[in-house]
Amino acid sequence: MSVHIDHLNQAALDIVVSEDRGILPKQQPLLTHLYFGNSARQHPDCLSIQTELELLGSNLFAQYWFTDQQVSQNRYQNIRYAHTPQMLFGFIELTCSSKTCLQSLTQKAYSEIYQCLENTTCKHLLRTWNFFPEITAKDSKHSQLNRYESFCHGRLQAMQSCNIKTKVYPAATVIGNHENTFQIYFLASDTPGTAVENPRQTSAYHYPVEEQHTQPLFSRGLIKTWGQRTHFYVSGTASIVGHETLHINDVCAQLNEAINNVETLVAHANDKYHTQLNAQDDLLYMKVYIRRRENVDQIKQVLAARLSSTTPRALLLGDMCRENLLVEIEAFYQA
């Protein structure tokens, strides 16, 4: 199966990464501005989102999402979003403490997201990023589940209540933060992307789970064409083969295994869908979520050996959905 590309009917979406305080790198309509670190970089004239994770080893990591269409901004309940007829980027932030029922809060957040999209031309969810505190702690209202499992269940409940039938799940990242906030930001489109699974890994939605649990409903990666660009959104990826964690207590081996998984995913996308992504040259950036700040130097050494020296990377302090995972990565390819 090949990915159908209709350049004539596709809006452009071009991502530029900045690691300094320079001026905006392009003079085009700006769909959104995402940043970690220096809050003075906020841009009041566009949807500007700061993720509440500590950036390790630098002061700023920012992404600018440029398009070739006029961008409008709007609100829906707790969601702020920027959109054109063909693309939408949204953000929701809710108060979340250790006593919050994650299942209910997730259902509320995702119900708002799906309802928001239903009122626009962009009904297809492509990519989500999710951050909330104490990700592996027991849920205060559902003691048989931890908070990540409650998140998965709440997301499914929202899909069911909003009558979402799709089996093309978005690429996703879910990371524990150290704040009292639940943040979700997301990308949607008027046309669906193409989901890609990793032959080394059990698809998350096929994980074996106990009766009261819910499988994580996300794709390992998702391909989307925007004008002349091909984007490949790679989900949060860890040292998991099949559905089992490998290299417990070895952060370097876990990072190498995670990178192996990403490179396998890229190769599989090329083989199955006839994309022409280069695992090194087309890697626009990599985010590395790190459980323990004392592992930063080791992480940097592995990245130096595995990535091009020119590839931007953000090292972020955050917790993974399994206690035996020390590191997780996400990747963004643009060709």
Question: Domains, the chain, ranges and CATH?
Answer: 7-334 (3.30.1330.40)
Q: Pairing between strand 47-50 and 30-37? A: parallel
The per-residue pLDDT for 45 is 81
Cα separation, 286 vs 39, in Å, equals 21
3-class DSSP string for 209-272 = CCCCCCCCCCECEEEEEECCEEEEEEEEECCEEECEECCCCCHHHHHHHHHHHHHHHHHHHHHH
The per-residue pLDDT for 208 is 85
Return phi, psi of residue 154, to 5°: -65, -40
CA 332 to chain centre: 9
Neighbours of 193 (CB within 10 A): 25
Q: In order along the chain (335 residues), what is the average pLDDT of each group of 10 residues?
A: 48 90 74 85 83 90 94 98 98 94 97 98 98 93 88 96 94 97 98 97 87 85 96 98 97 98 98 95 97 98 97 97 98 97
8 Å CB contact between 96 and 105 = yes
For residue 229, give Cα distances in angstroms to 12, 84, 152, 193, 281: 7, 17, 32, 13, 14
The per-residue pLDDT for 143 is 76
The per-residue pLDDT for 241 is 97
Cα separation, 19 vs 21, in Å, equals 7
